[in-house]
Amino acid sequence: MTLVAGFDSSTQSCKVLVTDLDSGQILRQGSAPHPPGTAVDPVKWWNALLASVKDAGGIEDVSAISVGGQQHGMVALDGQGNVVRDALMWNDTSSHPQVDSLTEKLGKDEWIRRTGLALLTSFTITKIRWMAENEPENAQRTEAVVLPHDYLTWRLTGGGPGNFRAEDLSTDRSDASGTAYWSGATEDYCTDLFEMALGHSAQLPRVLGPTDIAGHTAAGLPGIPEGIPIGVGGGDNALAALGLGLEIGDVGLSLGTSGTVFAPAPDPIHDPSGVISGFADATGKHLPLAATLNAARDMDVVASLLGVTHDQLAEMATTVAPGSDGLTLLPYFEGERTPALPQARASLLGMSLSNTSPAHLARATIEGMLCSQVAMLDALIDLDVPVNKVFLIGGAAKSAGVAQILPQIVSLPICLPESGEYVALGAAKQAVATLTGDFPGWRPESADLPQAEHHPIIMDQHLAGRASIYGV
């Protein structure tokens, strides 16, 4: 039996799956937490990766590995391989002024034309510009910029403080496409945009192909044998799509810490509205995507407020009619990425004596969270991205309230795959490709959600409330 391992270095933790190459069966797994916050020392991600290996019982019997990670985070390195400052993560919104200034400098349409992206605080280039303007001494020290999964792959190959070789840095198309200084149309960096943001040139990781080998594990790594081939790695959403086995016509809807909607597409996507980001996928195609900052945490905070469990919240929500009798929650608890409202906060609209109840609030919370995602799904459809079936994943996908309410908002068939760590599974598929030259055909078991009567009032209320406060 040949074994491979896939890592998922996410916002909250590092997870590893050890799987059988032929069947995809998960034989063992491990995890380790990441520290909270939106700026984190990348060394702590490395330590969590090592701890996850130990928690999984080691990987001495593994023939190949690959690492997926949270997209966009800025890891700045100096010429000796030292981390210049804590990495600014995707959910750090401090670069909002830089979004405005960079957009004004080039023009929104030109950013979309060149990179497929309308600038958001999530994207790496805005964080680089924030550092250049607010920490010029750190910007001057920066001689290379990599992303979270790039950093971990580099450490696995032996890179680190005092051992810096620019040629060892690598990334993949999916993560490069989320920087806003790489083009899906040309498949190359826009180095002039990067230098405009940082103020000078610096080393960027070479962009490898979907089945390439990034290197081999170095000697002396705790718990990790020397010489294991390392897959190219990728951004979390691209690897989730790979792990799910999404094909053209499928769309992933992920309800985790953030919410994401993404669908494989054969060609680069340029959305004039800026709602859909034209990312690349992990297989050589493209992955138009939109994301919200707020998703499962909406249910967390309201369940805590009401003093109930998630199951109880769902049960309460399903006792109320669609539209929650006019009560609408705009769930922008942490600002929002889509729509681009980084300074926004959650709003409860349409309160009356008859609908101000715990059950109505429970229903409005789930509806508000889902409507934020469906707005992105509708934007994909408006761009003629093939969308025939929705694959619902993430922690909040397990909610009975979500399972009942989402089919009332979306008319498409909705599939609920078995619960799994799909980013790590996608990374494991990449590990297989380093050995065989192709991805395995593993696909999770799944069940279709029951169809339900469509209730346009739910989405209509959400869009009307959003327009009344924010004009978008």
Catalytic positions are: 236
Alpha carbons within 13 angstroms on the beta-carbon side of residue 457 total 11
Measured CA to CA, the distance from residue 56 to residue 62 in angstroms comes to 12
Listed residue (296, 290, 459) closest to 385, CA to CA: 290
Contacts of 321 (CB under 8 A, 6+ apart): none
Measured CA to CA, the distance from residue 265 to residue 271 in angstroms comes to 13
List alpha helices for 4-107, DSSP H: 42-55, 96-106
Q: What's the token pair of residue 136?
A: 């010029």
Cis peptide before 339 (omega within 30 of 0): yes
Phi, psi of 170 (to 5 degrees): -145, 160
Q: How many helices (H) and strands (E) does the chain have?
A: 15, 24
Listed residue (40, 239, 80, 251) closest to 164, CA to CA: 80
Measured CA to CA, the distance from residue 197 to residue 299 in angstroms comes to 37
For 216-243, give the DSSP string. Answer: EPPTT-TT--TT-EEE--EEHHHHHHHH
| Start-to-end C-alpha separation, the chain | 54
